[in-house]
Amino acid sequence: MFAKILNTLNNTCLRNVTTVVDHHCIRKIILDFPKNKNSLSLDMLNSLISDTQNAALNTNIKVIIMSSSQPNIFSSGHDLKQFQKNKNDNDLQLQKEILEKLVRLINIIQNLPIPVIAEIKGHAAAAGCQLACSCDIITASEKALFSTPGIKQGIFCSTPGVAIIKSSLPLKIATKMLFTGDPITAQEAYQFGLVSQVFPEHLLEDGTVELANKIAKNSKEVLSLGKQCLYQQINLDKEKAYQVAIDAMLENIKLDDAQEGIKAFLEKRTPIWVKAKMNK
């Protein structure tokens, strides 16, 4: 489905570092700069920030899928050419801006009122792994790889390390990845709890869209409130986390969609969310 739309766009539009395709209530943001292996250059990061922020402004979009146009690479990480020392005194400022831009993108993703799925076809390396781990859900091809190989180039993956350690990946697995630079497979990532679902390569796109559609059947307002609560309580101690969750539940129950959901459950029918009623 998305592949056909993407081919049409690529035949009619100038290629940028990302391509955005909307289909019903799903937005697909595609890293699309094969020349640089989808490296997270400053241009790529600016484009991804713009694409994700624009999705939040579109009231019809309920799920984002972040993917790659390339079968063998999601993203190779930062563009190392931008981290070389030159005679320019502004080098350090540029590098700081790039690192902070990725953190900004990650914060935008986690603060978006809609879920974001990372669809990993190939290799998610270094900062590319950092980006993937920072999405709400990860689907992966059985051929996908996840790595933090910076140590092999003399740059420890400190910022990607934050994402993989704060994800569900066990500490001893994360430290092995960081200290050796060796990748883990999609199946290993699934077993460790990093990946949500693994698909055969030819079923990844359809499987991810099917998952996105399952999410999109739910109330956008409830999804937004639930995601906000999830990230608000995740690092709190149990007592504070429960208080945040109780407050969120009480706010949730006030929503028209919550009352419609309760009524539909009792009447043994499918709920019709407020927006769906308005569009009838």
In this predicted model, what pLDDT tens digit does every residue of 223-255 receive, in sequence order? Answer: 999 999 999 999 899 999 999 999 999 999 999
Average pLDDT of 105-134? 97
Question: pLDDT digit string (tens) for 158-202?
Answer: 999 999 999 889 999 999 999 999 999 999 999 999 999 999 999
Distance CA 261, CA 268 (A): 10
Let me know if the fold of 2-216 is the same as that of 220-279: no
Task: Check whether 65 has a pLDDT greater than 90.
Answer: yes
What's the distance, CA 160 to chain centroid? 14
Per-position DSSP letters for 165-182, written without gaps between them: HHTTS-HHHHHHHHHH--
What is the model's pLDDT at position 119? 98
For residue 11, the model assigns a pLDDT of: 37
Predicted confidence (pLDDT) per residue in 258-270, tens digit: 999 999 999 999 9
Give pLDDT, residue 279.
54
**pTM of the entire structure?**
0.91
Residue-wise pLDDT tens digits, 2-59: 555 444 444 333 347 999 999 989 999 999 999 999 999 999 999 999 999 999 899 9
DSSP H helix total and E strand total for the chain: 12, 10
Q: What share of the chain has pLDDT > 70, as a percent?
A: 91
Mean pLDDT of all residues in the chain? 91
> Which range among 3-12, 96-105, 147-156, 196-205 shows the weakest confidence by mean pLDDT?
3-12
Domain extents for the chain?
2-216, 220-279
Going by DSSP bridges, is the β-strand pair 184-185/137-141 parallel, antiparallel, or unpaired?
unpaired
What CATH number does the domain located at 220-279 have?
Answer: 1.10.12.10
H/E run at residue 139: strand 137-141
200 close to 238: Cβ distance less than 8 angstroms: no
- pLDDT at residue 87, rounded to an integer: 53
Chain segment 196-207, per-residue pLDDT in tens = 999 999 999 999
pLDDT at 90: 67
Least confident range from 26-35, 68-77, 86-95, 124-133: namely: 86-95
Pairwise CA distance, residues 274 & 266, whole Å: 18
- State the architecture of 2-216 in CATH terms: Alpha-Beta Complex (3.90)
Question: What is the gyration radius of the CA atoms in the chain, in angstroms?
Answer: 20
